[in-house]
Structure 1
C-alpha cells in the first residue's frame, strides 16, 4: 500500500476544529527548512510551547507538532522567514479556517500594529502566502502567475475557483451532479464531487453501493444512500466526533529479512476508522492532530532510514589519477602565468618611459591627429595624410604604424635607445618596426602625460593580478592535496577488503561513483573568480561567461576579454555579452582551434539566457566575432547604451539554436550547482534536470528543480547546502520555464 503523503480536504476539516484550542498563543519566531517546511514557534498559557508545522513540498501537511519531533533550527533565515518574523513576532494566533472544501488553510494572526493572514496551499505545487489586512500579498514562497489566478507580492491574493463541497450539497444537488457523469460511482465521487479516491471508496462501502456501478445504472435509492453516508461523514467532522487512527503495514519477507524482525511502516492517518483500511493494524490517538504529527514524524524517520546505504555497499573508485594530472596541469599553467606577470608589468612601464623619452615626437603626433578631428577630418583622411608625411621623411609621420578610428587610437613605433634612456628590448618589436623599436598604442583624444599615466596604471593592474594568481595556485594546491588524500583513503580501504584482488586493476579502467546513493557526501566548495557572472564549462573544459546586467557586460569586455577569446551575442535585442575564454585571467593564452561542438554550446548559452527565452521562443539565432571586432566607439552622431557594443566586420552565425538549459549538482572534483547547455552539463553533473521556456516563474521553476534533485540523493542535506533553490535560480534564465520530461 502506498504511503499517504498529503492531507485530504476531509483531514484538514478535522484539524481545523482542533486548531481552535491554541487560539491566543503568541508567536515567538518563524523558521523555514528546505524551502518548503515552515515552522512557527508559539507560546500558550495552557499548552506551553506550541510548534505549528506547515509543509508544502512533496509532503503536504499542517499540524501542531510535539517539540520532541521538531528538528533543530536551521541556519541563516531566508528572506521569507525574516519577513514573517517581522510581521508575526508577538502576534496572537486568532484561529484558522478552511477555504470551502479545498486544501487551503488560512491562519489568522493579530497584533496591535498590523494583522496578518497566512494562507497555506496544500495542493499542486504547494505554497504559503502572507497577506496584510487588505488581502494583499506581502510575500510568498512561490510566485504564481496563471490565467486563472495570481499570487505575487503586491497583488491581491486570489483563491482558486470554487469547488463543490460534497459534505454540504443537498440531495437534489447531489443527484444532479452525479447524473451528469458518464463514469462509474466511485470515480464520480472522487473527481467531480472532490472526495478523492480513499474517501470515495469509503462512502461507497458505508452506503452499500458497488463501487464500479455505472452512474447511469444507479437507482435513486442508491444515490440517496450515498448522500446519507456523506451527510453522516460531514456531521462527524462538524461535531468533533472523531476516533483518529494511524494505520500500519508490515513488510513481507520478500522485501528481505524476517518480517517478525522488522518494524511496521505507517501507511495512512485518518480522523476516524475507515472500512477501507479494516485489514490493517492501527494505533488510536486522543486527537487527530496528535495522530497526524505521529504519522508524519514516523514517515520522515522511515524515509531517512531507507536512504542509508547498506553496510556492504561501496561506491566505485573515482579516477583519482586523471584528477591529479588535471590539478598538476593547472598548477603548471598558473606558475607560468605568475612568472609572466612581472615581465608584462615591466613592459608596460617601459612603454610609459618611452612615451616620455620621445615626448616631442609623441606630442606632435597626438596634436596633429587631435586638431584634424576637431576640424572634422575623417580617420581615413588622417591616415592618408600621415602616410604622405612618412613618404616625405617627416619623423612624426614615419613613427605612426596604425590608425584605428573605431578605437580613436594611433599606434607609434618608438626607438628603445632614444634620448640615452637605454630602455632595451621590451619584447614587442618587429611587425612594422625595427628590431630596436616598440609599438605603443595611444589615445588620440588625450595628451602625452595622460597616455603615459595610463600605461603606468596598466603596469600596476598587471602586478595586482599576481597576488590573485598566487591565491589561485594555493587553492589549486589545496585541492590537489585533497584529491591525493582521498586516493590514499580509497587505497587503504581497498587493501583491507577481504575479497579484493591485489594486482588485477587495469590503469585504463573507467570508474564512476554512485553519488546519489551515498549516505554522506563531503562538501568541497570552490572559490572561482567567475561565479558572480553567468558561467559554465563546455564539454571539452573551456570556460564560458556571460553578463547578468549592463554593468557586467561592460566589465566582461573591458576587463576579461582576451585576444584569443570569442565574443557571442544573439540576433534578438536583450542578450548577455558571452565570452568563450581561451584561458583564465591569471593564465597566458594561445590561439585555440575551437571544436564546432564548443562553439555551438557557447551559442546556445547566449541564446538561452537572452530575450528569446523570456519571450517564450523555442529557438534563436546567435553570432560570433573576434575580440578586435568589438568596440565601444559608435559612428559619428550615434549613441551606444551602457552594456552595448559596436560590432564591425564579418560575423559567424548560428541559426535556430534551441533554448534549453540543464541544471544539476556536480560532486567531483568539487561540489556545487551547475547549469548551462544540456550537452555540457548532463555528463558533468551527478544528476540534472533539463528546462525549456514555459509557464513557471523563475523562482517557482527553481523550487521545482530543487525538489526534484533533492529526492534523487540519499544525502538530501548535501543538496540543501550546495544546490538550494536560491543557488539553482542563479542558473535559470529570466522568464518562465518548464521541466522537460
Structure 2
C-alpha cells in the first residue's frame, strides 16, 4: 500500500488532546522552510525544548518532533517567518482545536499585546493562515478567493462550509444520512458521514457489516451495529483511550505474524501508516506500539522521509510546465477578480459617503433622534420600536431606518436603495469620513493586489521561458545522436548563444547604487545628497548596517538585513563577508576612487546608531547624519569594482565588488582608478562585451554605454590589467 502522507480527521481529533499537555509553553522563534513548512521553537518549564512542525505541501502534518531531528535553520528568514517572530516571540501556547471534523487545526497563542491564531489547513492544496484574536488575516502562505470562501490578508478568515461530524452525530441525523444515500454502506460512511476511506472500512469491520452492502438492503439491525461502532470510536477519542501504532509493510515470506511487534525488534519494512489506536484493517501489516501519538507521528514521518531519501535518484523527467503555467494563469484570474472587487467595494463606499451628504438632513434627523433618546437612557429596543411605529405612520426618517443594533451602537438606513451602516455616536460628517477612509484603505489593498499580479505575471513568463528552453534542449538532444550525457547536462553557454532572449526586470532599488553580496544580502548607496537623505529616512531599518568612508564625500551605504517589504529584525547576524564587501563598495564609490587612491578607511555602525538629529549647537547638511556610540573600522579597505552582464534569471548589467558579482554574471570586467573619463571607459567596456558575446545585438539592447556607466564608480577609471 502507498505510505500515508496526510493526516486524517480522526488523527487530528486524537492529536488535540495530546497537544494540550504543552499549554503554557513559550514561543522562542519561528522558521519557514520553502513555502509549505513552518517550525515553531518553544520551551516548556517541565519538558524543556519543544519543536512543532506544521507542513502543508505534498506531505500534510502537524506534530512535535525530537530536537535532534529538526532541519537546520534556513539562512535569511522570509517575510512570513519574520511576521511570525514579531507576533509570537515570548507568547504562550494557549491550546489547539480542531474545526468541527474537518482537517483544520487552530493553534492559539496569547501575549500581553493580543492573541494570535495559526490556522493550519491540512486538506486540498494546504495552507497556513495567521490571524489576530478577531480572525482578521495578518498573512497566509496561499491566498484563497473562491465563491464559497476567502482567505486573504486584511479580511476575516472564513472557514469552509460546515460538514457533518460523525463523532457527534445524533442517531436521527445518522439515519437521515444513511437513508439519503444511493450507494453502499462503506461509501456512505466515507462521504456522507465524512470518515474517509480507511476509517469507513474500519467502522464496517468493527461492526461486522459487509462493506459492499447496498444501503437499500441495510436494515435497522445494520444501522444499530454501525452506529454503535461509531459511538465506541468517538468515546475512545474523547477519553483519550489511545494505543498508537506505527505500521510497516511485512517483509516475511510466508506473511504470518500476529500483527504486533512487542519484543523490541523493529521491522525493516517500509512505513505505511500511523494511527492513534490499532486498526483491524491493518492486521496484515507489522506494527509497533508507542506511548503517545505525537511520538508515533514523529517516528513515522522521520522514517518516511529517510526511506524516500535512500531511494535511487529517478531519471530526470520533463517538469509539469503545463500545470505550473495553468496555476499562475488561475492565480492571475483570481487576482484580477480581487482587483475588480476592490474597485467595486471602494466605489460603493464612496457612493455611500456621497449619499450621506445628499440626504444630509434626513440622516442628521435619524442620528439626532437616537442620540437624544440615548441621553435620556431609553433602551435600544424602545428606540427600535419607535422607529417602526413612525414608519407605519409614514414618517420619512423612520421609513429610512432598516435596523437598530444596540450591541454595536449602529443604525442601518436605506438611502435610494443603498443600505448603509452608521455609527450612532458620530455625526453625518464623521460617518461620511469613515466611509471615505475605508474606501481609501480598500484602494490601498487594490494597489497591493496590482503589485502582486505583476509578480505573478513575471512567474508566469518565467515558467513559459523555462518550458521553451526545455523544449529547445529536447530538440537539440534528439538531433545529436550519441551525444554524451555529461555534455547534455552542461550549463548553457550564453556567450556562444546566437540569440539570447531578453528578460528585463527593474527592481525598486535600481535608481540607487546597488549590488547583492555573495551571501545574497542587498547593499544600496546614495548617488547624491537627496538619495542619502532618503536612504536614512525611508529605507534604514533595525538590523541594517550603515557604512561610510572616513574621508568626506562618499555615499551612505546601507547593508540591508531584510527587504523593505519584509518585517524588519534586529536578530539577523550579517556575515562578515557581506560587511567587508559593503565596505569595499563604500570606499570604491567615494572620493577615494576619484582621488586616484587604491584604499581608504571605512566605518560601520548599526541602524539604531544613526540619527538625523544633530547635537546641540551643531548643524547637519542635506544628506548628512549623526552617529551615536562606537564605530567599527575597516582600515585600508582596498577599492574594487567590476561591471558584468547577467543572463539568469534576468538579462541586465550589474556592478559592484568583483567577489560579489563574479558568480552572477556570464562576462565581467574589473576596473581600477585611472585617467580615462567615466564615459570613455564605459564605451571601452561596451566594446569588450560585444566581442565576448556571439549575440552582439543582445549586448546593444541591454548593455549600452549609458547603462554600463550607471554601475561605474565616479571619476576616472581604466580596465584592470590594461
Q: Name the TM-score class by shorter chain.
A: 0.3 to 0.5
TM-score (norm 2): 0.45
* TM-score, scaled to structure 1: 0.43
Using CA pairs under 8 Å that are at least 6 residues apart, name the structure with larger relative contact order, 1 or 2.
Answer: 1
